[in-house]
């Protein structure tokens, strides 16, 4: 009897795996909602044309979604009376651009109600945001479904931090099936956006707890940053890629090679032979493979832990479960 129960359990598990492994594919909505990509792009373009600085938060939102519970739109869910959601975790409190996702969802609900998931909209908006500020474009496999669970503590534990060393970064990315190359390529997303001073202040004022500076950061650059970022500053924001933070390009790798990456996690790329070689290989913009590599790593990241088939749901409103 026990053996029969065990075999029945195995059959059920295999059925669930088979049921859930349809995966994602380019053109998933070609029959059910053929204009999905055009609608998301038009919506994203509207917002980016008014506020180009929204591109970085939209890209970051997709990262943060995929790194916690997979790319299931859980980062979009609001907290409820009985549950604090990912959106309210400290690393996510600076996310912006939710209105872009909501506007695209609203337009798609009019065009093809109940068909397109919020997680797919986010994946498309991230791609479109990058391409609209002179970055690469890539084919986005679709067919994700939306998760029903979002837990603040999971985001706090699972997201990479600006303070991570290479070993921690490699472990975090590796746990999701991402390689060391994916790590250094996706770090290149720091070519756009802004950061609060507190994300790197310890490198300027108290690196080892003795009131010292990080020797792995260009000392002249630290002096420059200290003008903007005073000790204990929790409100000021600075450009992550000075002079180029609104344009997606290879300048991030130039900054890192000069020991001018803002974060300890940026500096960590110079502590490993493979990532350092990649950084240096991108310094000649005419020989750079970054755009191609970034698209490939984004596709790979976008497949992490996806819900397909009958798993999850298609939310009517991205901030709320059905």
- The one catalytic residue in 46, 62, 64, 317 is 64
Task: For residue 123, count other CB atoms closer than 10 A to its CB.
Answer: 28
Q: Is 277 annotated as a binding residue?
A: no
CA distance 93 to 61: 11
Q: Counting beta carbons within 10 angstroms of the beta carbon of residue 264, is it exposed (0 to 12), middle (13 to 18) or buried (19 or more)? A: buried
In three-state form (DSSP H/G/I as H, E/B as E, the rest C), the secondary structure along the chain is CHHHHHHHHHHHHHHHHHHCCCCCECCCCCCCCCCHHHHHHHHHHHHHHHCHHHHHHHHHHHHHHHCCCCCCCHHHCCCECCECCHHHCHHHCCCCCHHHHHHHHHHHHHHCCCCCCHHHHHHHHHHHHHHHCCCCCCCCCECCEECCCCCHHHHHHHCCCCCCCHHHHHHHHHCCCCCHHHHHHHHHHHHCCEEEHHHCHHHHHCCCCCCCCCCCCCHHHHHHHHHHCCCCCCCCEEECCCCCCCCCCCHHHHHHHCCCCCCHHHHHHHCCHHHHHHHHHCCCCCCCCHHHHHHHHHHHHCCCCCECCCCCECCCECCECC
Task: For residue 74, count other CB atoms closer than 10 A to its CB.
Answer: 27
Q: Is 249 annotated as a binding residue?
A: yes
Q: Is 27 annotated as a binding residue?
A: no
Q: Is 214 annotated as a binding residue?
A: no
Q: Is 143 annotated as a binding residue?
A: no
Q: Is 160 annotated as a binding residue?
A: yes
Q: Is 68 annotated as a binding residue?
A: yes
Q: Is 191 annotated as a binding residue?
A: yes
Residue 286 is among the residues annotated as catalytic for this protein: no
Q: Is 46 annotated as a binding residue?
A: no
**Catalytic machinery residues:** 64
Q: List, as residue ranges, the binding site for substrate.
A: 160
Q: List, as residue ranges, the binding site for Ca(2+).
A: 65, 68, 70, 72, 74, 86, 191, 241, 249
Q: List, as residue ranges, the binding site.
A: 65, 68, 70, 72, 74, 86, 160, 190-191, 241, 249
């Amino acid at each position: 009897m026990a053996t029969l129960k065990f075999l029945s359990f195995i059959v059920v598990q295999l059925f669930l795996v088979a049921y859930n492994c349809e995966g994602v594919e380019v053109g998933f909505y070609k029959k059910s909602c053929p204009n999905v990509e055009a609608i998301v792009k038009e919506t994203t373009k509207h917002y980016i044309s008014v506020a180009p600085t929204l591109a970085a938060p939209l890209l970051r939102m997709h990262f943060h979604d995929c790194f916690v519970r997979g790319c299931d739109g859980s980062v979009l869910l609001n907290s409820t009376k009985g549950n604090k959601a990912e959106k309210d975790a400290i690393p996510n409190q600076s996310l912006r651009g939710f209105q872009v996702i909501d506007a695209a969802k609203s337009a798609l609900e009019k065009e093809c109600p109940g068909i397109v998931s919020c997680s797919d909209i986010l994946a498309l908006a991230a791609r479109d945001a990058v391409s609209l500020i002179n970055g690469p474009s890539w084919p986005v496999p679709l067919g994700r479904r939306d998760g029903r669970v979002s837990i603040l503590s999971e985001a706090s534990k699972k997201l990479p931090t600006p303070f991570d060393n290479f070993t921690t970064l490699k472990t975090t990315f590796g746990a999701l099936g991402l390689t060391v190359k994916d790590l250094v390529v996706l770090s290149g997303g720091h070519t756009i956006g802004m950061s609060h001073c507190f994300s790197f202040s310890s490198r300027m004022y108290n690196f080892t707890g003795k009131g010292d500076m990080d020797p792995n950061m260009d000392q002249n650059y630290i002096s420059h940053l200290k003008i903007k970022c005073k000790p204990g500053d929790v409100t000021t924001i600075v450009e992550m890629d000075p002079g180029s933070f609104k344009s997606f390009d290879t300048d991030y790798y130039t900054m890192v090679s000069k020991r001018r990456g803002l974060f300890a996690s940026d500096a960590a790329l110079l502590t490993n032979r493979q990532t350092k070689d990649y950084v240096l290989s991108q310094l000649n913009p005419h020989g750079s493979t970054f755009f191609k590599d970034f698209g490939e790593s984004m596709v790979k990241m976008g497949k992490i832990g996806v819900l397909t088939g009958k798993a999850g749901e298609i939310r009517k409103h991205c901030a709320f479960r059905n």
